[in-house]
Chains A and B, each alone.
Chain A
Amino acid sequence: MYAYDEIDRTLVNERVAEFRDQVKRRLSGELTEDEFKMLRLQNGVYLQLHAYMFRVAIPYGTLSSRQLRALAHVARRYDRGYGHFTTRQNIQFNWIKLKDLPDALGDLADVGIHAMQTSGNNTRNVTSDQWAGVAPGEIEDPRIWAELMRQYTTLHPEFSFLPRKFKIAITASQHDRAAIKIHDVGLRLHKNADGETGFEVLVGGGLGRTPFIAKTVKPFVAGRDILSYLEAIMRVYNQYGRRDNIYKARIKILVHELGIEKFAAEVDEEWRQMKSDALLIDDDVVEDIRSRFFYPSYEKLPHNPEELKRAAGDPKFEAWRKNSTFAHKTSGYSIVTISLKPVGAPPGDATAEQMDALADLADKYSFGEIRVGHEQNLALPHVARRDLPALWKALDKIGLATPNVNLVSDIIACPGLDYCSLANARSIPIAQELTRRFANHDTANLVGRLHINISGCINACGHHHVGHIGILGVEKNGEEFYQITIGGRADENAELGALIGPAVPYGEVADVVEDIVEAYLALRHNPDELFIDTVKRLGVEPFRERVYATR
């Protein structure tokens, strides 16, 4: 985790004091809702169907156990005892009261957590790979750069009132776990031919009404220049992004309308004119930030310790180990993914009790650190392999050991019409039914890696466009219907899914998904061919035929 210093703490506290004043002026009538709305959005406060919703930032998906306990405290004290982890490494509380928000923010500020810019037309949480710092083969820890960018974009006086929201994601691995290609700015950290560290900069990705995969605007920007280059991009966007139509205001539209070459030229022209070195990041600055990140002192441990050998006889443990634990860059350790997708439960939710218990487990087995992934699961990034059996027992007791990570029942879903005022249809009950249909782990394992994404409306917070199977809720004559797509993916080979046919009613969605899975099992070349690869090989047609044959 990044340790706040006096400067960081001061800023967060000043922000809380400012918001407290703004809430006071709203409740007294001094500020109208029209004047207040953007201010509360800039502090992560939405209005939903039943109540306000409070979105708290988890920068680059990293939490200390102390911070996780503070989130549990907010859930318990100000909300209804649970929180929801989102597709952008944030956490949401669904029942918060406006009058309690300054206190909730104050409690979070004590542990270095904030909700700045988790909504509004500004730069949002800079997200990254939830395995940053521990993934084998990583170039270097992208979170250092994410923190630099977090600071650079926080309360930036020039860019706090952009045409629309602005989302940045960073990856430093071959396999992109941060979905950079569906972000307004995507950054791929790598080394060039001269061994210099820098970024491939992509721009204009995004989902929603007009989905786009990001395009490369510059193949290499040296690390020391990345903030100035980012400033050039944002200045071009701030000045020329559309302000007349909120559905055409994202940078992806500007890039599309200008074309990537012209857009790149505009940015370069602006960049060229920025004479000042004020934004140059020298090694000193990077080192300072790096010095405040926590890195454990790993022991020299065996890859196959006695404890693991003994536990290998337990099929339940083995099923979990094979599914939920992943190779760590340090031998003798594992990255453990904590599934928040138990059968029948809302995907991505955790109770305050679970959060507290997990914080204790993190202290005991993961050097006090927890990660949050965009697929709405958590992770313990530094678990000694000898501790896996004991950890598993403890996780199982609190319902956090469902061995379905990356499988068909590991569903990503937005809150949908049960919570969200923008939604057309519900998403969570669809997810819950699907987890029931695929509750059998042998079946799920037979099917293999399969990402289902569900969105309750075209705003696509569930990232349905890039789901292997994507489900989009729409409304037809007051009834809930769902459009189904297949073949999407969010990684380094990002692609938008294709529609398989006309929308189907609420009651039939789970049947359709079962039909798609059955079609895949029948059509796959061999058991090792993943769903996504079968779709790539055969296209949509054979799936469409089977699903709509009797519909």
Chain B
Amino acid sequence: MTSPLEQKKIKITGPSVVTANRTIDGAVIYRTTAKDWSTDLAHAAIVRAADEARTLLAESVADDVGAVGAYIAPVEVTDGKIAPGNLREQIRRSGVTITLLPAIGLPVQA
């Protein structure tokens, strides 16, 4: 989970997607095949080679107004279903792995 913000060269070791955060609210988004963004990983465009990835990333980065910090992230594809390819991407998609205060149900003043 070394920060992909430190990625210099594009290295693809398997199926990958381009992901970013939506400028207006920071939501996690994935680049789709329709030259658009989706908050649903299921709609993400999958690339499998470095030059494909480079093209998709360049096109994503060009949308400077809509998205911030685009980078290439690994995924796992099983029976056509896309899943995050590492813990970092899992956390980005599903949220924090910890129990938060309100959920812990600490007593608060009524």
Known: A50-B28, A50-B95, A98-B24. A354 touches B108 (CB 8 A): yes
Known: A398-B108, A475-B1. A47 touches B100 (CB 8 A): no
Residue count of chain A within 8 Å CB distance of chain B: 49
Query: Does B26 interact with chain A (Cβ within 8 Å)?
Result: yes
Are A51 and B21 neighbours in the complex by a CB distance under 8 Å?
Answer: yes
Known: A351-B102, A428-B98, A429-B98. A98 touches B25 (CB 8 A): yes
Are A344 and B104 neighbours in the complex by a CB distance under 8 Å?
Answer: yes
Known: A351-B102, A418-B96, A423-B1. A397 touches B26 (CB 8 A): no
Q: How far is the CB of A268 from chain B (nearest CB, A)?
A: 39
Known: A26-B23, A29-B64, A353-B109. A418 touches B98 (CB 8 A): yes
Q: How far is the CB of A488 from chain B (nearest CB, A)?
A: 24
Interface centre among B64, B88, B95, B101 (most CB of A within 10 A): B101
Known: A27-B65, A480-B1. A346 touches B21 (CB 8 A): no
Are B108 and A346 neighbours in the complex by a CB distance under 8 Å?
Answer: no
What residues of chain A lie closer than 8 Å to B96, measured between beta carbons? 50, 418-419, 428
Query: Does B2 interact with chain A (Cβ within 8 Å)?
Result: yes
Known: A351-B101, A398-B106, A419-B96. A52 touches B65 (CB 8 A): no
The 8 A CB mask of B54-91 against A (1 = contact, 0 = none) is 00000000001100110000000000000000111001
What residues of chain B lie closer than 8 Å to A399, measured between beta carbons? 106-108
Known: A26-B23, A418-B91. A478 touches B86 (CB 8 A): yes
Complex: A406 Cα to B21 Cα, angstroms:
38
A residues 23-62 touching B (CB-CB < 8 Å): 26-29, 32-33, 47-52
Are A350 and B64 neighbours in the complex by a CB distance under 8 Å?
Answer: no
Can you name the residue of chain A whose Cβ is closest to the Cβ of B20?
A47
Complex: A48 Cα to B5 Cα, angstroms:
11
Query: Does B7 interact with chain A (Cβ within 8 Å)?
Result: no
B residues 7-36 touching A (CB-CB < 8 Å): 21, 23-28
Can you name the residue of chain B whose Cβ is closest to the Cβ of A98?
B24
Are B27 and A51 neighbours in the complex by a CB distance under 8 Å?
Answer: yes
Are B108 and A353 neighbours in the complex by a CB distance under 8 Å?
Answer: yes
Are B26 and A345 neighbours in the complex by a CB distance under 8 Å?
Answer: no
Give A residues with C-beta under 8 Å from B.
26-29, 32-33, 47-52, 81-82, 95-99, 342, 344-346, 349-351, 353-354, 356-357, 397-399, 417-419, 421-426, 428-429, 432, 457, 475, 478, 480
Give B residues with C-beta under 8 Å from A.
1-3, 5, 21, 23-28, 64-65, 68-69, 86-88, 91-92, 95-102, 104, 106-109
> Could you list some 9 contacts between A and B, CB below 8 A?
A28-B65, A49-B91, A99-B24, A346-B100, A357-B109, A399-B106, A417-B88, A421-B5, A422-B3
